[in-house]
């Protein structure tokens, strides 16, 4: 089964940049997109309706054109849940969980710590709430967790680690929270298969960052430890454009 995550940085914008071709080429069973920036959940006339897929959307209820995620799946899920426990963070349109017979897929656009780290406490609370939510799910079946997790975990995951040590996405607090998640029984699938490879999934639009490959690896697929033997491939697809991120994929035998 193939999973793909892609922060599109505005669905309507990326639609004019060959997104449909990218979607088809990646041939995912579950394709999750982040930062749709839609003001309302699509109704009958969706901005993107791929044939053969069920579609699930959630948008920010607090600010129009902010955040928002969507999941497209070939296999109809047993259930769909928005947000974490009790729907928390769905007010910002950040998380969708799809339940399948043998696992949960959780797709997320994790809160950014913000300019001046003004949302760092909010971000760290998300991480604590996520652990609680995952414990609830994990008691039933294992988890596949993917999306823009907004953290470069280790120096290998960022072009300029020293100069970014106090910047959002590379603070010691965020990196420690990510380590805590892994220690709770989850596997960083890309780093598991590519322990020494330097590859990034996000580049600033400033300073020709993508041309110079001055990037960050902040998009991930994690899986429960029980699914480690099922990992077949995990890739970062730098060959696809259209956003300040590129897609990532996970092939899993489930």
The structure tokens listed for 234 are 């995990």
Q: At what angle do helices 120-138 and 172-183 cross, to 10 degrees?
A: 0
pTM exceeding the 0.95 threshold for the entire prediction: yes
Give CA–CA dist 205/243, Å, rounded. 9
Q: What is the pLDDT along the chain (254 residues), one digit of tens a residue?
A: 999 999 999 999 999 999 999 999 999 999 999 999 999 989 877 899 999 999 999 999 999 999 999 999 999 999 999 999 999 999 999 999 999 999 999 999 999 999 999 999 999 999 999 999 999 999 999 999 999 999 999 999 999 999 999 999 999 999 999 999 999 999 999 999 999 999 999 999 988 999 999 999 999 999 999 999 999 999 999 999 999 999 999 999 99
Q: In the 3-class helix/strand/coil scheme, how is the chain assigned residue by residue?
A: CEEEEEECCCHHHHHCCCHHHHHHHHCCCEEEEECCCCCCCCCCCCCCCCCCCEEEEECCCCCCCCCCEEEEECCCCCEEEECCHHHCCHHHCCEEEEEECCEEEEEEECCCCCHHHCCHHHHHHHHHHHHHHHHHHHCCCCEEEEEECCCCCCHHHECCCHHHCCCCCCCHHHHHHHHHHHHCCEEEHHHHHCCCCCCCCEECCCCCCCCCCCEECCEEEEEEHHHHHHEEEEEECCCCCCCCECCEEEEECC
Give CA–CA dist 170/153, Å, rounded. 7
The structure tokens listed for 85 are 């426990």
Task: For residue 15, count CB atoms less than 10 angstroms from its CB and return exposed for 0-12, middle for 13-18, buried for 19 or more.
Answer: middle
Q: What are phi and psi of 252, to 5 degrees?
A: -135, 135
Catalytic residues: 109, 148
Instruction: Show Cβ contacts of residue 9 under 8 Å, excluding neighbours closer than 6 positions.
Output: 35, 37, 243, 244, 245
């Amino acid at each position: 089964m193939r999973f793909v995550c892609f922060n599109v940085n505005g669905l309507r914008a990326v639609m004019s940049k060959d997104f449909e071709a990218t979607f088809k080429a990646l041939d995912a069973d579950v394709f999750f997109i982040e930062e749709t920036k839609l003001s309302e959940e699509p109704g009958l006339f969706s901005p993107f309706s791929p044939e053969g897929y069920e579609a699930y959307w959630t948008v920010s209820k607090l600010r129009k054109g902010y955040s928002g995620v969507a999941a497209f799946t070939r296999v109809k899920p047993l259930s769909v849940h928005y947000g974490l426990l009790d729907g928390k963070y769905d007010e910002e349109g950040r998380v969708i969980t799809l339940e399948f017979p043998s696992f949960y897929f959780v797709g997320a656009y994790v809160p950014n710590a913000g300019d001046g780290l003004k949302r760092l406490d909010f971000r760290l609370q998300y991480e604590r709430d996520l652990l609680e939510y995952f414990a609830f799910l994990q008691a039933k079946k294992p988890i596949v967790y993917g999306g823009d997790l907004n953290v470069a975990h280790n120096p290998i995951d960022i072009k300029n680690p020293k100069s970014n040590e106090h910047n959002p996405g590379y603070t010691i607090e965020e990196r420690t929270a990510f380590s805590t998640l892994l220690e709770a029984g989850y596997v960083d699938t890309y780093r598991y298969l590519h322990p020494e490879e330097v590859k990034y999934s996000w580049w600033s639009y400033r300073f020709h960052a993508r041309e110079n490959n001055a990037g960050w690896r902040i998009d991930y697929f994690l899986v429960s430890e029980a699914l480690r033997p099922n990992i077949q491939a995990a890739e970062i697809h730098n060959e696809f454009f259209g956003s300040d991120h590129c897609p990532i994929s996970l092939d899993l035998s489930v």
